Every structure is written in structure tokens, then in C-alpha cells.
Amino acid sequence: MRVAFLGLGHMGLPMARNLVGAGHDVVGFDVVPGAREAARASGLRVVNAATDAVADAEVVITMFAAGHQVIDAYRGGAGRPGLLAAAPGGILFVDCSTIAVDEARAAHALAEAAGLRSVDAPVSGGVVGAENATLTFMVGGARADVDAARPLLEVMGARVVHCGGPGLGQAAKVCNNMILAASQIVVAEAFVLGERLGLSHQALFDVAAHASGQCWALTTNCPVPGPVPSSPANRGFEPGFAGALMDKDLGLAEKAVELTGVDARMGMLARTIYREFVDGGGAGRDFSGIIESVRAPSDDPRSTA
């Protein structure tokens, strides 16, 4: 397939390279000249204007940091032509950026009004998943459009889930990450509580990992060194999944909660706690480093350890 890949950052470049590796005809573009140079140096065919990339494409994939970038790029403005106007009629737009549900729906509406097809297809799995083509894609859009995107998504990922209509890929992403944030915090609290009670990390892990407390935040991203040697706690909380990205995703969850009026007190408390984590210097650390924020205020002489 002829693919225009726009947004050659941490995620986009390895994803685009995997498409090339599978034999697709990929042309890349990024607004930042340095990103274009890095992509060229890695062997990707790169052009200097977005419109040149999309002019001849069958599918346009975007992988940007934020929702306003997707809307602005689709629509154009300030003298820049929009991608939708530059694209051949009827082609498919696949937005893999993590953006708000309402922004994703606005992007779908713009594409539809331009006579183009679109899906929202955010990912989980991080840079390692992008490099190893093991991402999970959560996809929103009409079934025919999701099926059209699927062969490309299956090259870049290990799992593709059609979550429903426009915006519902993003809905699945915010719901999943709200679970993850709250569970990572409470796993950290449980380890600190165990420390204060004289319980070893390994003993708590051996019980909870095989009992009803079992979850990814414990068994993969364990916030104490030892029980899971590959978890970021064993390397000074080097990410992994950085606090800044969790903070961003919880901001999107907050928007969705406000939009729907759901009483999501746990999720919104997690949002506040991660905001404080980032403000306190956690932006570049793995989000499991939240255990250090739990430990500091609970440094209490009543400890029985």
C-alpha cells in the first residue's frame, strides 16, 4: 500500500519503519526538520511538505503528541494547506495519536465532511512495542474502515481491537489508563503499608501476585526492586512509561469524565496524585516511581517495622 506517515517521533518512526520492512511504500513527514533528518538517516523516504506526502497516498497515518495538532493538520490554516484538502478522494485516515474522545470525534467529522474515511487507532505498548511491532491498537470507526486499516495495523502491532464507532478507540485508551493509574498507586501504597507492618516485599508479592490483588501494576511494573527484575524500580525508575505521559492520559480521562458526568472519584484522585508527581519532578521518571511520594509522607514513627 502507498502510505503517508506523518509524525516521526519516538513512536511514529519505528512504526513507519516496520511498514517499510513489510514491503509497503511509505513516505514520511514531520514538521520538525531534525525529526525528518533522523528518519532519513534511518533509511525512511521523507519529504519536506505534508501535502507532498499525502498527494499520492492510499492511507494517511498520523502519530502526533496532541489532539489540537491532529485537528490543525487535518484542517490546515495560517497559510498551511490541510491534509484533508490535499488528499485524494475517498482515502483512509488513521490517527494513532492519543487524544481526547471529543477531539477524535471532531477529527472524524472533518474527514467525513471532506468525503474521506477515518479511524482513531491509539496504541498501548510504548516505544519498545513500536520497535518490536507488538503494539495493541484500540480502534474506533466504521467496520469497513477498520477492516481497511487492519492489514497495516497488524504489521505494526500484535493485537487490533475494534472498540466501536468513531472515538471509541480513544475511549478504550482513557478507560484502560485510568484503571492503570489507580492500580499503580494502590499497589505502591500496599507495599509501603507492608513495609511499615514488617512484611517483606517478596512475601507480599508472592501472595498478591497469585491472589485477588493481582494486576499488571504489581506483576509487571512492580514498584519495588526484587520481585520482578525487569520492572523500572530495579533501574531507578527509568521509564518505562513516563509520569508526563500518564499525566497527559489522565488529563484526557478527566475531560471524558467531565463530558459524561460520571462519578469517577478514584480515577480523579489518581489524576490529582499524578499531577503532584509530575509537578514534583516525576515527569521523566516511570510512573511506578509514585511509591516514593507514598513513602515520604508516610515516614511515620508509628511504624512497627
Q: Please tell me whether residue 18 binds ligand NAD under the rule CB under 6 A.
A: no
d(CA 82, CA 78): 10
152 Ramachandran zone, left/alpha/beta (phi>0; psi -120 to 50): alpha
Q: Please tell me whether residue 141 binds ligand NAD under the rule CB under 6 A.
A: no
Coil, strand or helix: which one is 163?
A: strand
Contact 277, 250 (CB under 8 A): no
Closest residue by Cα to residue 287 from 145, 185, 142: 185
Where in 36-55 is the site for ligand NAD (CB under 6 A)?
50
d(CA 194, CA 305): 9
Question: Would you say 32 or 207 has its CB closer to ligand NAD?
Answer: 32
Q: Please tell me whether residue 181 binds ligand NAD under the rule CB under 6 A.
A: no
Q: Please tell me whether residue 59 binds ligand NAD under the rule CB under 6 A.
A: no
In angstroms, the Cα distances linking 154 to 41, 125, 135, 219, 223 are 26, 14, 9, 27, 32
* Of the residues 3, 4, 6, 163, which one makes contact with ligand NAD according to CB under 6 A: 6
Closest residue by Cα to residue 142 from 174, 167, 175, 173: 167
Nearest residue to ligand NAD on Cβ basis: 9
Residue given cell 501535502 in the structure block: 51
d(CA 117, CA 142): 9
Applying CB under 6 A, which part among 10-18, 145-153, 186-194, 257-265 lies near ligand NAD? 10-18
Applying CB under 6 A, the site for ligand NAD has a residue count of 26
Bridge partners of 95, per DSSP, are 62, 120
Question: Would you say 69 or 298 has its CB closer to ligand NAD?
Answer: 69
- Minimum distance, C-beta of residue 296 to ligand NAD, in the bound complex (Å): 27
Applying CB under 6 A, which part among 4-12, 39-47, 156-164, 218-226 lies near ligand NAD? 4-12
Where in 95-124 is the site for ligand NAD (CB under 6 A)?
97-98, 123-124
Question: Would you say 94 or 294 has its CB closer to ligand NAD?
Answer: 94
Applying CB under 6 A, which part among 25-33, 160-168, 259-267, 271-279 lies near ligand NAD? 25-33
Pick the catalytic residue: 105, 117, 162, 173? 173
Omega within 30 of 0 (cis) for the link into 165: no
* Of the residues 16, 60, 73, 270, which one makes contact with ligand NAD according to CB under 6 A: 73
> Per-residue string for binding with ligand NAD, 244-283, x by CB under 6 A?
-x--x-----------------------------------
Q: Please tell me whether residue 35 binds ligand NAD under the rule CB under 6 A.
A: yes
Q: Please tell me whether residue 82 binds ligand NAD under the rule CB under 6 A.
A: no
Cβ atoms < 10 Å from Cβ of 299 = 9
Catalytic: 248?
no
Question: Would you say 73 or 250 has its CB closer to ligand NAD?
Answer: 73
Q: What are residue 192's phi and psi, to 5 degrees? A: -70, -40
* Of the residues 17, 54, 61, 64, which one makes contact with ligand NAD according to CB under 6 A: 64
Q: What are residue 100's phi and psi, to 5 degrees? A: -70, 155
Chain-centroid distance of CA 110 in Å reads 23
Chain-centroid distance of CA 234 in Å reads 23
Contact 258, 289 (CB under 8 A): no
Q: Which residues contribute to the site for ligand NAD (CB under 6 A)? A: 6-12, 29-32, 35, 50, 63-65, 69, 73, 97-98, 123-124, 126-127, 245, 248
Which residues are catalytically annotated?
A: 173
